[in-house]
Amino acid sequence: MRERNEKQIGDEELEQAIGYFRQSVTAWSEAEAGRTRALPQPKSNRFPVWLTWSMAGTVAAACAVWVLMLAGGQHAGRHGAMQAAIAPKAAMSAATSTQAATPAREMAPAAASQDGTQTSAVATEGLRPDAAEAGRVQASSRREDEDEQLLAGIDSDIAQGTPRALAPMAGWMSDSANQ
């Protein structure tokens, strides 16, 4: 097969083909050699000084923003947790204050209304634990005062003869006795 192929082309044709090949390689080589090549720049010149500084500044600013965001998130989380811990106590103190204010309002309207306003203010505020504690102490002392006032009133009524609370019954008894 190879011999048959070799016989198919003559030396002249072979020489001609190789001549074209030589011309082709030379033309290609000259074209490639004439082409301007982009030389790789050394690493030191890859980034100018100002660009390096501006990049460093940008990175530093980004880091600062990131740290601030992180700190803000942590603060918000802690604040939320604190609010969640305080809310039941505040609600309880508000309920206690309201219970304490109700009889006081019956016994002494002016004082009770004033105290009720304060209690509701504490219940509304209800964010700081020391304020809730102070409200609770104030409510218990007020309750003791009211008890003392009530007892004092009863004592004075007994001293007068008929307690004020029993006055209607005493009147009815005296009426029935007269009849």
46 C-beta neighbours (distance < 10 Å), count: 10
27/121 with CB nearer another protein: 27
For 45, 163, 177, the CA distances from 170, given in Å and listed in that order, are: 112, 9, 10
Q: How far is the CB of 41 from another protein (least distance, A)?
A: 16
**Is residue 37 part of the contact set for another protein (CB under 8 A)?**
yes
Least Å from the CB of residue 43 to another protein: 19
Q: For another protein, which is the closer residue by CB, 22 or 164?
A: 22
43 touches another protein by CB under 8 A: no
Sign (positive/negative) of CA torsion 119, 123, 127, 130?
Answer: positive
Q: How far is the CB of 52 from another protein (least distance, A)?
A: 30
**Cβ nearer to another protein, comparing 38 with 159:** 38
Residue 35 or 160 having the CB closest to another protein = 35
Under a CB-based contact definition with an 8 Å cutoff, are residues 115 and 101 in contact? yes
Task: Report if residue 30 touches another protein, rule: CB under 8 A.
Answer: yes
Q: How many CB atoms lie within 10 A of CB 166?
A: 13
Mention every residue, 6+ apart, whose C-beta is less than 8 A from residue 162: 170
Question: Does 33 help bind another protein (rule: CB under 8 A)?
Answer: yes
Strands (E), the chain: none
- Contact partners, residue 166, CB within 8 Å, separation at least 6: 157
Which stretch, 14-22, 68-76, 102-110, 126-134, contacts another protein (CB under 8 A)? 14-22
Per CB under 8 A, residues contacting another protein are 2, 4-9, 13-14, 16-18, 20-33, 35, 37
